[in-house]
Structure 1
Amino acid sequence: MRLSSLLFLSGISTTAFAQQKPVLITATDYKGSGVILEAKNISSIPYTLVLTCTLQNMEPSTELPLRKVIEPAKKKLTLTRLTPVGQPYRYTYNYRYYLGNTLSVTPTADYVYDLPFAAGQEYAVMQGNNGAFSHLNKLAVDFSMPEGSIVCAARAGIVAEIKQDSNTGCPTASCKDMGNYIILFHEDGTYATYVHFKQNGSLVQPGQQVAAGAPIGYSGNTGWSSGPHLHFEVDLPSEQEKITLPVKFRVGSQILGELQQGARYKR
């Protein structure tokens, strides 16, 4: 997720975006006395903002680059004030935002997840942690399930992001970005990523609170996929590559720290 914007005092120019983003940045010029950069989070979950500026004859009120967690709020949050110290003065700014709090998150120790499908259903694991097909150095599990199977929340959370417009899938990495997904943000600051939903297969909307075990969508075969299945992983907010976390599942009366490839599990 990346955003950038450029403003020049000799003539304002801004980068335009086709759709509304969860974090919005505004720059207000107070007629030569300074420029204030503000942020507003219009979503239902926190995002971490990284702000960089290139300045000519201006001084910022905060250290740059600035990393700040932007909580959901109705009001704007001041990021920095840029004060002219000479002429001519000019500034540009760029920013990126990342899901959750990348600065400080402590996952709930030993949390036990439900299997991410309907009660009474049973599915086989086609790929587990560090699987050779697409899980190298990744803690994640793929459940083989027919297209249109009900996918359920493995843990309560708030719907952070949804993609459901794709109808494309293939068994190579070239289709990686074509996978439909739902991301649920958890109360401890981690989030679960559910991938490969069918086109228009989401049953939830961004900002919606979802209970553990509640249906969230219909499985599919979109994205990097060798066959219809559900990909599930739990992630730690990060500004770099995804950091996947180990997951414990409740299976009947057992609590399993890792699901085995080829084995079948019933919820």
Structure 2
Amino acid sequence: MNNKILYLLIVSFFLLSNSNLSAQSQNITILSIENSDRSVDLLYEKKNPGSYTLTLEFSNLSNCNVSTYEKVVSEDSGFIMKLEPLNKDQDITYSMRYSATLGAVNPKIDNLFRYILPFKNGKKIKIFESESAGEKYFGLKKSVDWKSYAVASNKPDTVYSMRKGIVVLIDNQYNDNSLLDAQFTSRRNQVVIEHEDGTFAMYKGFQKDEIFVELGQTVNQQTELGIIEKYNLKSYRLDFDVFYLSQDVVNSQNNQSSPDAKNTYQYFPPVFYTQDGRKRLESGKEYTVFVNENI
């Protein structure tokens, strides 16, 4: 029995066009085990927390009938698939490349869940809908479902989690822009949290070394995440949004993805608890953060 490690060739988060999340090299490795019956078991090992859609693409394949395969992996390690030989007297030979995209494709979103605004209970905030940086600065087409929010402050407030989940990504490499009159910058520290229903919350705009949570940590609603950054000469700013991974075409009968299928991130506008009841956020309006023991 021969064990072969196939190192990650492509790891892409393909996250939202306005994000600055970097690909993490060798987050997932694949182990191939050649069995005595000439079949091949493919296993994986994953370093970072969170769910990933793992896509395998085979080429130069002989003695086996498979072209692409897609599977959601969430544990630290596990089984992917078995390659079965068409002719039991011959070995399977193949080349393979694979990619891992953060998120489970087309999750069953809990539309009834109500989020908490990402600041301390009782704080009054004014919401602005963030502009699409790709559209405004780079001439890209705006996503039809674009929905990202921003809150400006005159002081370094604490940012709180909107929903229980697991911290799956932390970016803490950038100094603030307090000496610049910036209109836009992609160099912002951020935290991404995966929720139980497969959605993610991105919180963007933390002071460097002022993020309070750790990778893999489970947070509850109103867990302190960190301190908001000085965005420019005028104010502090937090941007936040909720999104999930979707795919246009998947062959559900054999769990193989269509060659034309494409993973993309879709925005999801949650309903929030506020002091005035349950609301979908509107740009330019003020809301007061509200949470009680029942919530």
TM-score normalised by the chain length of structure 1: 0.76
Letter aligned with residue 142 of structure 1: A
Deviation (angstroms), 1:49: 0.7
Please state whether the residue corresponding to 1:105 is helix, strand or coil: coil
Deviation (angstroms), 1:150: 0.5
Distance 2:240 2:169 in 1: 15
Letter aligned with residue 24 of structure 1: T
Deviation (angstroms), 1:226: 9.0
Give the CA RMSD over aligned residues: 3.5
User: What pairs up with 1:1-150 in 2 under 5 angstroms?
Assistant: 3-4=8-9, 21=27, 23-28=28-33, 33=38, 35-60=40-65, 63-73=66-76, 75-81=77-83, 83=85, 91-102=94-105, 104-127=106-129, 137=144, 138-146=146-154, 148-150=156-158
Task: Report whether the alignment pairs 1:162 with 2:162.
Answer: no
Task: Report whether the alignment pairs 1:186 with 2:195.
Answer: yes
Map of 1:252 onto structure 2: 275
Provide structure 2 residue ranges, at least 5 long, that are not aligned to the other structure: 1-7, 11-22, 247-261, 290-295
Q: Is the 8 A contact 2:38 2:90 kept in 1?
A: no
Distance 1:30 1:136 in 2: 47
Map of 2:210 onto structure 1: 201
Distance 2:288 2:35 in 1: 63
Q: Is the 8 A contact 2:147 2:241 kept in 1?
A: yes
Please state whether the residue corresponding to 2:208 is helix, strand or coil: strand
Per-residue CA shift, 1:97-149, capped at 9, x if unaligned?
A: 122210x4121123211110112322222335889868864112111124632
Map of 1:11 onto structure 2: none
Distance 1:208 1:235 in 2: 20
TM-score normalised by the chain length of structure 2: 0.69
Distance 2:122 2:281 in 1: 20
Provide structure 1 residue ranges, at least 5 long, that are not aligned to the other structure: 6-16
Aligned CA distance change for structure 1 residues 108 and 94 (closer, same or farther; 3 Å): same
Please state whether the residue corresponding to 1:241 is helix, strand or coil: strand
Map of 1:10 onto structure 2: none
Deviation (angstroms), 1:233: 0.8
Map of 2:242 onto structure 1: 234
Distance 2:110 2:104 in 1: 15
Distance 1:34 1:88 in 2: 8
Deviation (angstroms), 1:221: 4.7
Aligned CA distance change for structure 1 residues 226 and 158 (closer, same or farther; 3 Å): farther
Distance 2:233 2:169 in 1: 21
Aligned CA distance change for structure 1 residues 254 and 89 (closer, same or farther; 3 Å): closer
Q: Identical aligned pairs, as a percentage?
A: 20
